[in-house]
Chain A
Amino acid sequence: MARAEATYTPKATGILPVVPSRSIVRRLLGPDWRLGWLLVCPVFLILMALLVYPFLDAILLSFQNRFIGKVGTWVGFGNYADLFSNPNSHFAKAALNTVVITGSAIIGKFFIGTAMACVLNQHIRLKNLWRGLMFLPWAVPAVVTAYAWRFMFDTSGPINGLIAQFHLRDDYIYFFNDAQIALPSLVLVIIWSGTPFWTMNILAGMQAVPAELYEAAELDGAGTVQRFLYITMPSLKHVFFVTALLSTIWTSANLVQILVLTGGGPDYSTITLPLLAYLTAIPGARLGGGAAIAMTMLPAYLVLVYYLTRQMLKQE
């Protein structure tokens, strides 16, 4: 990028008179440093003050015993030790659920998203309309669709309504009162909400595959399945990688659906780490304890972000 721009400098284009800069400051900080930093300044300061500083503060906070409105006291690894040793902390359950929910949701979104993208990539009538409709769960607030699903699973909702109508069971299914059903139902809703993001990325990736590849394969006698397996899927490797990492970060961090549908219940059977952090820190008023729970996710995020930025910058 630097090279491409060098050819655009006034010197190279010969439009402006050449004024060689002799100042050391300009050589060290670059010719446009004053205006450059001035324009970046607001964004830089906001992100430093409200992203980087809180991020570091969260680490410190997790080593303190701090209640809302009080000054904190340093407790070292006390909060962390409590998470692992106190059976009432529900930490192990939350960590396990976070992994199970995120993992199964990612697998579900991968398969459904790929299938959806395959359908939308064909030449069907009114393609843009179908595409627009299928991306709706991505466009509307997550709370809205979480409510729609809560009603879908409710005793006065359509599923139980149809069961009663056709006398399939004697009793309603209480989806979110039974730990055995609550978790899979939750995963279904999370998959439903997150699939459009996958479809979008996969579809964009499919449209970027050069047509010559397909033509060449066709000349070699490759069928539809073979072309999908040996051309489409390998070409999408990068897209799958980036989408999976982004989706893992956002799915594991998200708590909207869980909060609306189960609130972590019944009896903490659907609790996850972000939800436990929220419940501990805000309704429970224990900021330090909540920060410690959130921070246990940090190592995993660092690994994900490392691979993700490497991949994203490589592509640039």
Chain B
Amino acid sequence: MATVTATRAATRKAAKVSERASRRSIGRGWMIATYVGLVFFLLWTLVPFLWMLLASLKTNKEIYDDFTLIPKHLYFGHYADLLRGQGGSKASGYFRQWLVNSMFVSVVVTALSVLLGALAAYSITRLRFTGRAALARGLIFTYLIPNSLLFIPLFTIVARFQLVDTLQSLILVYPTFTLPFCTWMMASYFRSIPIELEESARVDGATRLGALFRIVMPIAAPAVAVVAIFAFTQSWNEFLYALVFTNSLASRTVTVGLTQMLGEDVFFWGQMMAGALIAAVPSVILYMVAQRFVVRGLAAGGVKL
């Protein structure tokens, strides 16, 4: 623990030194350029989101008949319709079901990925056996196989198990992208935990698994939390597999469900934007929680994933 605190203090000090260095070095002209860039990039990033938010609060008349940028009155009808299970198109009646489906799949997949990933990561970092280096490398390879190469053969597997149009098919398939990542991230964190802590516990009679769950996992709790957040968001945001493996309105996840709201000739933009924003909420909340780990985590691990 003491060493961890010491290194943290050292990095903070290093950060301050570099802060001083760059503050001294950048000229006034460049500082103005920085702020111009900041405003530009904020607009570039946020205009689509703002438009989505504003549109979701307009009445249909404001959207289609008279063009307005900002709604005159805030209209929450689109949100209310969706959450009450009503709406302009047939598909939007299923919106609540889609949220429940997404939540169910994401929670189950996250729990599985964290548990199985932790076991594998412990094994790879702490136990000595033939083949573990190859396993660690294999994880990177599996992480890099793009889903567009896999969805067709996976569809035949899902069909063979008679799981087409079920949420189980997604629970079966989503670990293919969460597990390599979770295992890899936890392995790199476990490596930073001093092995002596575990050894003293084992001298006191703890088993290997006891050491993992009582010593390693509690120390790694922040990393486990971040890994869980990543697994959840990845599952929640997933699109292609959910599109291919489900086909009835009742079994869609929310990302695919949104595309079903397009269907007819008339686009219910207000309602679709409201739906899109609701679908983004869980990811945004978790992202805010994990945000400070994102850059730091990438910096700590290099860009090693």
Chain A residues with CB under 8 Å of chain B are 5, 8, 10, 13, 15-16, 28-33, 35-40, 42-44, 46-47, 50-55, 57-58, 61, 68-69, 112, 115-116, 118-119, 121-124, 128, 130-137, 139-145, 147-149, 151-152, 154, 156-158, 161, 164-165, 192, 200-201, 203-205, 207-208, 211, 214-215, 218, 224, 227, 238-239, 242-243, 246, 249-250, 252-256, 259-260, 273-274, 277-278, 281-282, 287, 290-291, 294-295, 297-298, 301, 305, 308-309, 312-313, 315-316
Contact = CB atoms under 8 A, between A and B. Distances in A.
B156 interface: yes
Contact of A68 (B52, B119, B159, B279): B159
B272 to A, nearest CB: 6
Contacts of B208: 35
Nearest to A59: B153
Interface stretch (B43-51, B80-88, B89-97): B43-51
6 closest cross-chain pairs (CB), A and B: A253-B146, A36-B129, A30-B129, A211-B18, A54-B153, A39-B123
A36 B208 CA distance: 10
B26 A122 contact: yes
Contacts of A255: 148, 240
A57 B302 contact: no
Chain A CB within 10 Å, residue with most, of B14, B239, B291, B292: B239
B25 A227 contact: yes
A10 to B, nearest CB: 7
Chain A CB within 10 Å, residue with most, of B122, B127, B304: B127
A161 to B, nearest CB: 4
Nearest to A31: B128
A201 to B, nearest CB: 5
Contacts of B12: none
Nearest to B38: A119
Contact of A15 (B21, B49, B157, B199): B199
Contacts of A37: 123, 129, 131
Contacts of A130: 38, 42
B176 A50 contact: yes
Given A54-B150, A144-B279, A115 B137 contact: no
Given A119-B38, A297-B149, A36 B259 contact: no
Contacts of A15: 199-200, 203
A266 to B, nearest CB: 16
Given A55-B149, A224-B25, 7 more contacts: A10-B199, A43-B116, A58-B150, A123-B22, A140-B237, A218-B24, A278-B243
Please classify the interface of chain B as helix (H, G, I), strand (E, B), loop, or mixed, using the class held by over half of its residues.
helix
B153 A192 contact: no
B124 interface: yes
Contacts of A137: 45
A33 B130 contact: yes
A32 B27 CA distance: 59
Contacts of A32: 127-129
A136 B284 contact: yes
Contact of B303 (A128, A156, A242): A242
Contacts of A57: 153, 156-157
Contacts of A141: 236-237, 239, 255, 279-280, 283
Contacts of A38: 123
A259 B196 CA distance: 53
A160 B147 CA distance: 36
A30 B30 CA distance: 58
17 contacts: A8-B196, A43-B119, A46-B116, A54-B154, A55-B145, A156-B63, A157-B51, A158-B51, A204-B295, A208-B299, A224-B30, A259-B259, A278-B243, A287-B152, A301-B149, A312-B304, A312-B305
